């Protein structure tokens, strides 16, 4: 695909933030419905047990409370289908009902719903619901769940194993036989709570007179929500309208509707009144999907010079109690991405998906990439330590060379473009690697009790779509007043899409950014998107905006050529006008051309109608589809930490990131994505962990127990970019949205282990809390 798009002039101040800054933004909880009955409030009765049989649910007393409109259990909502999970061959897929029917399998699973005139009344009614449970043994440790005598979540399956997925690529046996050394590691990627600023939220309004269902969500995928709601309620898709309100983050967990949203939609449909549910923070930590949750047993075969030959992996994936959305796909992806930036000859793995009495895992920022990167980067540092080599040199000896691109890994991942060596060299220069090593040697020689550690990590990040079907569509139109409207199917949850799409359209059409409007977050727009996830929006959504804007530009020139009696090649588009080159007085405004197109539509070739809405694309407008294969970004990160040996506290001193995300359209947006991801990645490395006890009770159920990092707990970030444009899309763009969550955990952990190396400490699991570090130090000192 040719890349004729020149670098657009950057918009340095985000355009979508004014309403947020001034308090005018409307989240779901701010929506008011004029002319409709008062909004009802829904609350959910949740199981206090991790595993139990439901023997009875008594709702009569709650229903009798003044102000309560209705109360339902699963027996009252039989029309609702099970929650969707992506089908994967060979994977056991138990049905997850929106409300638990006969058995609960995790603490917080919803068993009933109450709808009332006010939230206070609905909350009071919760105490009046009586549920009879027969508690059953629970299992929360995925390795314990594999034991022959473990409690079974699904007795009909005969075990807690949902799947075993093998992978064998290359000649593993020969590589291990040829190796000079084999090292073994046990690595854990702990469970994480996505913890977006805004919890899940929904408002549904069904009008029996018109048959229309309107929905306001905090969602990453309004078109997916549109399809799910129409199918779940048996409605014609033309009678369903989904709006994405202002959304306070998502991080993958808001990609698909959960059971609570489907229940509220069904209640609005049944009652004929608007129904709203706003998740509490306790519910969010307890019942929204979690991320990560993998235990990896690793064997690495390598040579005396540090060259890595092959990997053997046994990955145990903690799936939780059910499969939702891409629950099974995330751990299956990990071994396919494990080669990272290195020339690995062979990989053999078995991924074992295990049911446990916990909330299900699903997508969380990175979704398989951080787990894979953590494996390979810990292996590289272990090789360097065992051979007494500099970890920089071991990485260089294994890294894919620039002339190898496009490069296909032994596991079948095709890297489209890159110059990993250049980005790595830039990191070492920018981060002053040699200077930090010198300071470390000085500190160790002086006997300073503050331990200094330097950690490196490189990674690749797959982003975009796999497959060849159209996954993105957008419409660009010129209004009669000369302004430009971009209509995209993207759902925005804070990334800066309005700024990016404005920049692209204004550059192509040569019009000031203030004359461009971007419309998103609405399933009735003449557009389409499968969603905002997988770092796909710039390369997919941005590319389709580019293509639609270019199509409009061609129409502008053809129409102006007819009116001005000049060849299109002799026309110039500038500042909202089309003029004849060399004769600026012969010109037309874009508004004049748009009015002409409306008055004489035969002057332009008609656009096909929108396939979803059936709307005709008329006037000076164009709708375009776009699909492409995935792209692979690259990053090289370095962390410097200091450990207080008296308290075990880890203080990050410096963090430097050099990323290759293809062509960077807007550095402000790219750096914002990188910084947010780094905060989450450092949070995983040092602070965050979803904890359950052996009975399946959630220990980290509040933000007093689940430790999110504060701004004061993070170091200053230094970032830079090396650009290797992708040939897979006309912008040359790649993803950067998950870079920080991929690179930060191994960089931080490698830095901590580097600091602890003089004490003989080789292994430690995330999160690296002060207590864990302190105990590790005491054990190391007592053994010397």
3-state secondary structure 646-688: CCCCEEEEEEEEEEECECCCCHHHHHHHHHHHHHHHHHHHHCC
Preceding amide of 406 cis, omega within 30: yes
Largest CA distance in the chain: 90
Q: Which residue numbers in the chain have pLDDT < 70?
A: 1-8, 466-470
- Residues 287 and 100: their CA atoms lie apart, in Å, by 13
Count the neighbouring beta carbons within 10 Å of the beta carbon of residue 214: 20
CA atoms within 13 A on the CB side of 418: 34
- The top-level CATH class assigned to 466-626 is alpha beta
Backbone dihedral angles phi then psi of residue 588, each to the nearest 5 degrees: -140, 150
- Report CA-CA distances (Å) from 669 to 21, 501, 587, 695: 17, 12, 36, 44
HEC assignment per residue over 591-635: HHHHHHHHHCHHHCCCCCCCCCCCCCCCCCEEEEEECCCCEEEEE
Enumerate the CATH 3.30.365.10 domain ranges in the chain, comma separated. Answer: 291-464+630-782, 466-626
CATH for the stretch 291-464+630-782: 3.30.365.10
- CB–CB of 452/752 below 8 Å? no
How far is residue 530's CA from residue 251's CA, in Å, rounded to a whole number?
A: 15
Which SS3 state, helix, strand or coil, does residue 527 take? coil
Residue 103 CA to residue 355 CA, distance in Å, equals: 15
Q: What pLDDT score does 470 carry?
A: 64
296-to-88, 193, 279, 671 alpha-carbon distances in Å: 22, 20, 33, 31
As a three-state string, the secondary structure of 685-706 is HHCCCCCECCCCCECCCCCCCC
The CA-based angle 397-400-401, given to 5 degrees, is 90
pLDDT of 466: 67
Q: What topology is assigned to 31-136+197-249+254-287 in CATH?
A: Aldehyde Oxidoreductase; domain 3 (3.90.1170)
Q: How far is CA 768 from CA 69, 234, 378, 688, in A?
A: 49, 49, 15, 9
Residue 585 has a pLDDT of: 84
CA angle 185, 189, 193 (to 5 degrees): 170
Contacts with 362 (C-beta within 8 Å, 6 or more apart), sequence order: 252, 253, 255, 256, 289, 290, 291, 324, 325, 326, 327, 330
Strand partners, 412: none
Helix (H) or strand (E) holding 275: strand 275-278
For 44, the enclosing helix (H) or strand (E) is strand 40-46
């Amino acid at each position: 695909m040719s890349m004729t798009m020149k670098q657009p002039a950057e918009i340095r101040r985000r355009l979508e933030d004014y309403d947020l800054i001034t308090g005018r933004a409307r989240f779901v909880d701010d929506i008011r419905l004029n002319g409709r009955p008062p909004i009802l409030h829904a609350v959910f009765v949740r199981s206090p047990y991790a595993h139990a049989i439901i023997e009875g649910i008594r709702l009569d007393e709650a229903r009798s409370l003044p102000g309560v409109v209705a109360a339902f259990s699963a027996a009252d909502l039989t029309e609702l289908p099970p929650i969707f999970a992506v089908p994967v061959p060979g994977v056991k897929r138990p049905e997850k009902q929106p409300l638990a029917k006969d058995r609960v399998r995790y603490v917080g699973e919803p068993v009933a719903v109450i709808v009332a005139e006010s939230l206070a009344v609905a909350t009071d009614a919760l105490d009046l619901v009586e549920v009879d449970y027969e508690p059953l043994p629970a299992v929360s440790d995925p390795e314990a769940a594999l034991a022959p005598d473990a409690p079974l979540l699904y007795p009909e399956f005969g075990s807690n194993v949902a799947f075993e997925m093998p992978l064998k690529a290359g000649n593993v046996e020969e590589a291990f036989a040829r190796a000079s050394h084999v090292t073994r590691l046990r690595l854990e990627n702990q469970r994480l709570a996505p913890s977006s600023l805004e919890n899940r939220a929904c408002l549904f309004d069904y009008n029996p007179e018109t048959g229309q269902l309107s929905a306001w969500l905090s969602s990453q995928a309004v078109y997916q929500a549109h399809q799910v709601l129409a199918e779940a309620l048996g409605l014609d898709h033309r009678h369903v309208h989904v709006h994405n309100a202002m959304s306070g983050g998502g991080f993958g967990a808001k990609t698909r509707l959960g059971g609570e949203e489907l229940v509220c939609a069904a209640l609005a449909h049944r009652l004929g009144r608007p129904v709203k549910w706003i998740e509490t923070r306790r519910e969010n930590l307890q019942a929204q999907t979690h991320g990560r949750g993998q235990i990896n047993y690793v064997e690495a075969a390598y040579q005396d010079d540090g060259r890595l030959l092959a990997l053997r992996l046994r990955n145990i994936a903690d799936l939780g109690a059910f499969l939702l959305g891409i629950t099974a796909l995330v751990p299956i992806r990990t071994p396919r991405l494990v080669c990272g930036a290195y020339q690995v000859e062979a990989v053999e793995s078995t991924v074992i998906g295990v049911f446990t009495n916990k909330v299900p895992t699903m997508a969380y920022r990175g979704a398989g990439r951080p787990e894979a990167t953590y494996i390979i980067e810990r292996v590289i540092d272990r090789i360097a330590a065992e051979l007494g080599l500099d970890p920089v040199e071991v990485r260089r000896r294994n890294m894919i060379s620039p002339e190898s691109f496009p490069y296909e890994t032994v596991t079948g991942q095709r890297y489209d473009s890159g110059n990993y060596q250049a980005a790595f060299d830039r990191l070492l220069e920018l981060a002053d690697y040699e200077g930090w090593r010198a300071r470390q040697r000085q500190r160790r020689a002086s006997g300073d009790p503050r331990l200094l550690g330097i950690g490196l990590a490189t990674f690749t990040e797959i982003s975009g779509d796999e497959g060849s079907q159209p996954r993105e569509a957008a419409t660009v139109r010129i209004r009669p007043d000369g302004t430009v409207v971009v209509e995209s199917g993207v759902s925005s949850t804070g990334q800066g899409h309005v700024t990016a799409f404005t920049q692209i359209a204004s550059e192509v059409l040569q019009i000031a950014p203030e004359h461009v409007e971007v419309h998103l977050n609405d399933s009735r727009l003449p557009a389409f998107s499968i969603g905002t996830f997988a770092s796909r929006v710039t390369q997919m959504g941005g590319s389709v905006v580019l293509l639609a804007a270019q199509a409009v530009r061609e129409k502008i020139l053809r129409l102006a050529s007819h009116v001005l009696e000049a060849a299109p090649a002799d026309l110039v588009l500038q500042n909202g006008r089309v003029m004849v080159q060399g004769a600026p007085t012969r010109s037309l405004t874009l508004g004049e051309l748009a009015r002409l197109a409306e008055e004489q539509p035969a002057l332009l070739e008609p656009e096909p109608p929108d396939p979803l809405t059936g709307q005709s694309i008329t006037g000076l407008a164009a709708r375009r589809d776009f699909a492409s294969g995935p792209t692979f970004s690259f990053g090289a990160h370095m962390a410097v930490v200091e450990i207080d040996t008296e308290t075990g506290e880890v203080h990050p001193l410096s963090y430097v990131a050099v990323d290759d995300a293809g062509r960077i359209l807007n550095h402000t947006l790219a750096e914002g994505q990188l910084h947010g991801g780094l905060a989450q990645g450092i949070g995983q490395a040092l602070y965050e962990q979803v904890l359950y006890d052996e009975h399946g009770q959630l220990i980290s159920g509040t933000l007093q127990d689940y430790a999110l990092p504060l701004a004061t707990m993070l170091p200053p970030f230094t970032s830079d970019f090396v650009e290797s444009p992708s040939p897979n899309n006309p912008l040359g763009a790649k993803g950067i949205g998950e870079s920080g969550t991929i690179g930060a955990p191994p960089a931080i952990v490698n830095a901590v282990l580097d600091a602890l190396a003089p004490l003989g400490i080789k292994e430690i699991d995330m999160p690296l809390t002060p207590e864990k570090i302190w105990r590790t130090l005491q054990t190391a000192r007592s053994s010397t």
